[in-house]
Chain A
Amino acid sequence: MAADLALLDEVAGGAAPALRLYQWLPPALSLGRFQPLDDVDTQACARRGVEIVRRPTGGRALLHGGDLTYAVALPRPTGPNGSIESMYHWLARGLVAGLASLGVDAATGRGARAAGPACFSAQQGADLRVGERKLCGSAQVHRNGTVLQHGSVRCRPLEFDETALLRFTSETARATAAGALARSAVTLEELGAASDFPTVARALVTGFEDALGVEFTPSRSRTAPPT
Chain B
Amino acid sequence: MEFPDHLRYSREHEWLSLDGSRARVGITDYAQDALGDVVFVQLPEVGAAVAAAVSCAEVESTKSVSDIYAPVGGTIVEVNESLNDAPEQLNQDPYGAGWIFVLEVADPSEADALLDAAAYRQLVEEQ
Q: How far is the CA of A69 from the CA of B61 in the complex (A)?
A: 21
B34 contacts partner chain A, Cβ-Cβ < 8 Å:
yes
Q: How far is the CA of A143 from the CA of B58 in the complex (A)?
A: 10
How would residues 36 to 56 of chain B score, 1 for a CB under 8 Å from any chain A CB and 0 otherwise? 110110100000000000010
B6 contacts partner chain A, Cβ-Cβ < 8 Å:
no
Name B61's closest neighbour in chain A (CB-CB): A84
Total A-B residue pairs with C-beta atoms closer than 8 Å?
Answer: 70
Q: Are A139 and B40 in contact (CB under 8 A)?
A: no
Q: How far is the CA of A140 from the CA of B35 in the complex (A)?
A: 11
How far in angstroms is the closest Cβ of chain B from A139?
A: 4
Q: Are A139 and B36 in contact (CB under 8 A)?
A: no
Q: How far is the CA of A88 from the CA of B63 in the complex (A)?
A: 10
**Contact A58-B64, Cβ < 8 Å, known A34-B40, A84-B36:** yes
B60-108 contacts to A, CB under 8 A, are: 60-67
How far in angstroms is the closest Cβ of chain A from B100?
A: 15
Residues of chain A lying within 8 A (CB to CB) of residue B36: 83-85
Residues of chain B lying within 8 A (CB to CB) of residue A112: 37
How far in angstroms is the closest Cβ of chain A from B67?
A: 5
A75-91 contacts to B, CB under 8 A, are: 78-80, 82-85, 88
How far in angstroms is the closest Cβ of chain B from A146?
A: 11
B127 contacts partner chain A, Cβ-Cβ < 8 Å:
yes
Residues of chain A lying within 8 A (CB to CB) of residue B33: 83
Q: How far is the CA of A79 from the CA of B33 in the complex (A)?
A: 12
Q: How far is the CA of A32 from the CA of B64 in the complex (A)?
A: 9
Residue of B39, B40, B55, B65 near A56 (CB, 8 A) is B65
Residue of B33, B36, B55 with highest tally of chain A CB at under 10 A: B36
Name B60's closest neighbour in chain A (CB-CB): A58
Q: Are A78 and B127 in contact (CB under 8 A)?
A: yes
B residues contacting A by CB (< 8 A) are: 33-37, 39-40, 42, 55, 58, 60-67, 126-127
